[in-house]
Amino acid sequence: MDETKDDVRLRNLKRLVIQDEASSVTKPQSKWKIPWKWFLVVGLLCAAGLSLRAFRTTRPIEVEVMEISLSRPFSNSQILTAGGYVISKTEAVIGPKIPGRLKEMFFEEGAHVKLGDLLARLDDDEAEAQLELAKANLKEAQSNLKRAQNLFAEKVISQADFDRSKTDFHVKKAQKKLAEAQWKNTQIISPIDGIVLERLSEIGEIVNPNLELQAGKDTGIYKLADLNHLQVEADISESDVHQIDLGQGVVVSVDATGRQSYKGEVEEIAPMANRQKGTVQVKVKILDRDEKLKPQMSAKLTFLSEKKVSEESLTPRILIPASAVQKDGSPSVFILNDGKAIQKWIELSSAKEGESCEVKSGLAEGDRLIIKSEKVLSDGIKVRVRVK
């Protein structure tokens, strides 16, 4: 039976109805799916916020620090500073008076010697033989003179013969004296109390009495210095030398000794300038020297307006910026120690210098003082030094 157009339409319509029913039987979509996504986003944002807050809480505070050092309390009275070197007022190059081979040396560099000490000895065999011969000749001349005196008294010999005996005696006496001097010249004696700065020769070398400079080096046997009279030699600019007078007080700082400073006074001002350097040489006497001071050590000179250096001028002090002092309650500061800000209570003096104040106690040389901070500090809080 032929299918009409209406039958085809009806069959297609039934298919659509069946498909629609089948699709309606499918499980409906959950109404909570979209809200859970929002909950997840909100949760992540909250966690990020808490992490950022924790990071900001634990991040070290950036600070600026300065290392505590000792300063001098003579800033108001100092008029000039200069660098120089410690020297001995008396230095001597010791050499022989006669040429000879160096036989013995009795002192090493750095040894202390006294006036009259035997420093070295030349080969004295020949000089000693000459001395023994001169002694024998003198003894013979003395016997001849005594016999001539007796013969002349008995008128056995003439006046001329007697005079020749006297002359021969005096000649032999002079020859013995000369031989003694020649032998003594083989003994090298210290002319001063002092210290051996340098051994200029060695045993076995031929040494001469010529003490000229050869290739910039002193020739001789020893170089000695009298350490009882030490000075600091400095070259002062021509434009500044008018501020310096004889007897003027000077603070001498020599770092190599470990001591902070010494008292000094201007002892010499050169009468003539050095036109090549444009300077005038000044020598400062060290008044309270000690055993630690050595020639050629570098020194810093601080010329004062006073004639004498007081004990207060030699006492070091600690100056810090007034802005670093915490004003709440008793004065305190923060120092950097092992990555933390440590609060320390300090005692201040009434002395001030510009924007700095003096600390009497509570800080020590080498402490790292916090002078600036990006936030308010508390004891024990973590900090780090700002990188400039």
Specify the CATH architecture of the domain 124-185.
Orthogonal Bundle (1.10)
Can you give the pLDDT at residue 270? 96
Query: What is the rounded distance in angstroms from the CA atom of residue 358 to the CA atom of residue 344?
Result: 15
Show the beta-strand stretches assigned E in 254-355. 262-269, 279-286, 298-304, 317-321, 332-337, 340-345, 347-353
Q: Domain extents for the chain?
A: 61-72+316-385, 78-90+198-314, 124-185
Which homologous superfamily does the CATH classification assign to the domain defined by 78-90+198-314?
A: Efflux pump adaptor protein, beta barrel domain (2.40.30.170)
Enter the pTM of the model: 0.56
- Fold match between domain 78-90+198-314 and domain 124-185: no
Please, are residues 346 and 362 in contact by the beta-carbon 8 Å criterion? yes
CATH 2.40.420.20 correct for 61-72+316-385: yes
pLDDT string in tens for the chain (388-residue length): 455 656 656 666 556 555 555 444 444 544 444 555 666 666 666 665 555 554 445 688 999 999 988 776 555 577 899 999 999 998 889 999 899 999 999 999 989 999 999 999 999 999 999 999 999 999 999 999 999 999 988 888 899 999 999 999 999 999 999 999 999 999 999 999 999 999 999 999 999 886 554 444 557 899 999 988 999 999 999 999 999 999 999 999 998 887 678 999 999 999 999 999 999 999 999 998 888 888 899 999 999 887 777 666 666 778 888 888 987 778 999 999 999 999 999 988 876 666 888 888 888 888 999 999 988 898 999 999 987 6
CA 380 to chain CA mean position, Å: 36
* CB-count exposure of residue 296 (10 Å: 0-12, 13-18, 19+): exposed
